[in-house]
Amino acid sequence: MGILVVAEHRQGKIQDPTWEVLGKAGEVAVSAHTEVKAVLMGDAVSDLASELARYPVNEVLVVEDPRLKDYTPEGYGAALAALLEHEEAELVLTSHTATGYEFLPRVAADMDRPLVTAAMDVSLVDGLVVATRTGYNGKVAVEIAMEGGGPAFVTLRPATFTPPEPGPKRAPVTPVDVDLSALQIRREVQGYEKPESEDVDIAEADVVVTVGRGIKKKENIRLAEDLAAALGGVVGASRPIVDNGWLPRSRQVGSSGKTVAPKLYVACGVSGAMQHLTGMKGSQTIVAINIDPTAPIFSVAHYGAIGDLLEIIPSLLRELEKA
C-alpha cells in the first residue's frame, strides 16, 4: 500500500511540477504512515531515475519500453494500469499539467476508479482519500471523498505545494517488468515546436502592468500602456486578451505563456485563474485593480484597489504625475 507519484518528463528533463507533487506526497505519506514511490515511464531513462532517487521517496519504480520513448496517453495508461497489478496503491498522484490531465483521467476511466483533478489539497485517512479543489472560478471550495479506492487518482494543481530538497540518501531504483504485449499506441508523436517572437521580453521587465478581460475593449489597453509608461514597465496580458488578438502571444503571463517575477506586478481586471497565478505569483509586490473584492487574484496580491479600472487608472495616472 502507499502513494505512487507519476513523474512527468520531456526531452530528457523531469518537469518542475513533478517536484511539487513529490513534496505533497511526502506530507500525505507521513501523516498516513505510508510510503511514496515515484513512477518513471519511458525508454532509457536511468539518468532521470537516479535524479528522482535523490529526493525523499521510498523507491523509484521504472517501467522501460521502446514504445514509451515518447509520452502518449495510451502508452502511459497501459503501463500504469499494468504496474498497478504489481503495486497496490491507495493513491496515484501526478501534476495537473497538459500531460497530467490528459492521461490520468483516461487511466481512471479505463480502470473505473475515482478521479479528482486540479486538487489544491489531498489527504489519506484510514484508507479514504479526500481531495479539495475549487469551483466557480475559484469562488467556491469543495471537499470530495473518493470512495471505492483501489487506488484513487488525483492530479494536483501546480504552483501550490513546496518542492522537497534533494538529500544525501539514495532511494532504491527498481526496474519493473510489466506485460505490455497488448499495447497498441495509435497516437504518433511528430515533434515539438516553439514559436519564436521578437517582441519585448516581459520576463525581463522590472514592472509589468497586465490587462485582463476587465479591460473590456481593445481601445482601453492604452490606459495600461500609459500606466506602464508612468511606472517604467511593460504591458502584459491574461490569456483571453491574447486569444482575442488584442496583444501578441509574447505578452501572455501564465502557465501557457511566460513566468514573470518583476519588482512590481499590476493586475488590471484579471480574476486570478490558476493558470494565471502560476505565471506571476513570485512577483515582489503585486497590486490588483479589480471591481470584485472576492476575485482569486487577492489570494496572491499585496494591495487591492477595489473599483472600476477604467476610472481608477486615469485617477492613478493623475496622482503619479504630481511631483
Partner 1 sequence: MNVVVCVKQVANPELQYRIRDDALDIVRDNLTFQVNGPDEYALEEAVRLREAHGGKVTAIAAGPERVTEVLRQAMAKGADEAIRVDLPDGREFDPSYTGQTLAQAIQALDVDLVLCGVQSDDYAHGATGPILASHLGIPHASVVTRVEVEDDRVRVNRELEGGLEERVTLPLPALLTIQFGINEPRFASVAAILKATRQSIQEVTAASAEGASRLTVRRMYIPEVTQQAEMLEGSVDEVARRLAAILREKGLVPEG
Ligand X SMILES: Cc1cc2nc3c(=O)[nH]c(=O)nc-3n(C[C@H](O)[C@H](O)[C@H](O)COP(=O)(O)OP(=O)(O)OC[C@H]3O[C@@H](n4cnc5c(N)ncnc54)[C@H](O)[C@@H]3O)c2cc1C
Q: Which positions from 162 through 201 interact with partner 1, judged by CB under 8 A?
A: 186-195
Pick from 30, 44, 125, 142: which binds partner 1 (CB under 8 A)? Answer: 142
Give Rg (Cα) of the chain.
22
47 binds partner 1 (CB under 8 A): no
Residue 172 binds which one of ligand X, partner 1, none, with CB within 5 to 8 A depending on kind? none
| CB 277, CB 296: distance < 8 Å | yes
Residue of closest CB approach to ligand X: 254
Q: What residue has cell string 493558470?
A: 275
Burial 134-156 (b: 16+ CB within 10 A, else e): beeebeeeeebebeebebbbbbb
Residue 292 Cβ, how far from ligand X at the closest point, in Å? Answer: 4
Pull the grid cell for residue 290: 479589480
Rounded-to-integer distance, Cα 192 and Cα 194, Å? 7
Q: Name residue 192's amino acid.
A: Y
Q: Which is nearer to ligand X, 26 or 269 (CB)?
A: 269
Q: Which is nearer to partner 1, 88 or 311 (CB)?
A: 311
Residue 131 Cβ, how far from ligand X at the closest point, in Å? Answer: 20
β-bridge mates for residue 264, sequence order: 207, 285
Residue 290 binds which one of ligand X, partner 1, none, with CB within 5 to 8 A depending on kind? ligand X
Q: Which is nearer to partner 1, 167 or 232 (CB)?
A: 232
Rounded-to-integer distance, Cα 117 and Cα 21, Å? 13
User: How many angstroms separate the Cα of 222 from the Cα of each of 155, 168, 308, 310, 318?
Assistant: 39, 54, 16, 11, 15
Q: Which helix (H) or strand (E) holds 310?
A: helix 309-321
> Do the strands 13-14 and 9-10 form a parallel or antiparallel pair, or are they unpaired?
antiparallel
251 binds partner 1 (CB under 8 A): no
| Per-residue contact string for residues 267-306; x = within reach of partner 1 by CB under 8 A | ----x-xx----------xxxx---xxx---xxxxxxxxx
Instruction: Say if residue 66 is preceded by a cis peptide, omega within 30 of 0.
Output: no
Enumerate binding residues for ligand X (CB under 6 A). 212-214, 238-240, 252-257, 269-271, 273, 275-276, 279, 289-292, 295, 308-310
Q: Which is nearer to ligand X, 130 or 291 (CB)?
A: 291
50 binds partner 1 (CB under 8 A): no
Rounded-to-integer distance, Cα 153 and Cα 160, Å? 18
Residue 217 binds which one of ligand X, partner 1, none, with CB within 5 to 8 A depending on kind? none
Q: Which is nearer to ligand X, 32 or 202 (CB)?
A: 202
248 binds partner 1 (CB under 8 A): no
Q: Which is nearer to ligand X, 77 or 279 (CB)?
A: 279
Residue 95 Cβ, how far from ligand X at the closest point, in Å? Answer: 13
Torsions phi, psi for 50 (to 5 deg)? -70, -30
User: How many angstroms separate the Cα of 77 from the Cα of each of 100, 102, 114?
Assistant: 11, 10, 15
Residue 167 Cβ, how far from partner 1 at the closest point, in Å? Answer: 27
Q: Which is nearer to ligand X, 14 or 301 (CB)?
A: 301
| Per-residue contact string for residues 76-115; x = within reach of partner 1 by CB under 8 A | --------------------xxxx-xxx-xx-xxx-xxxx
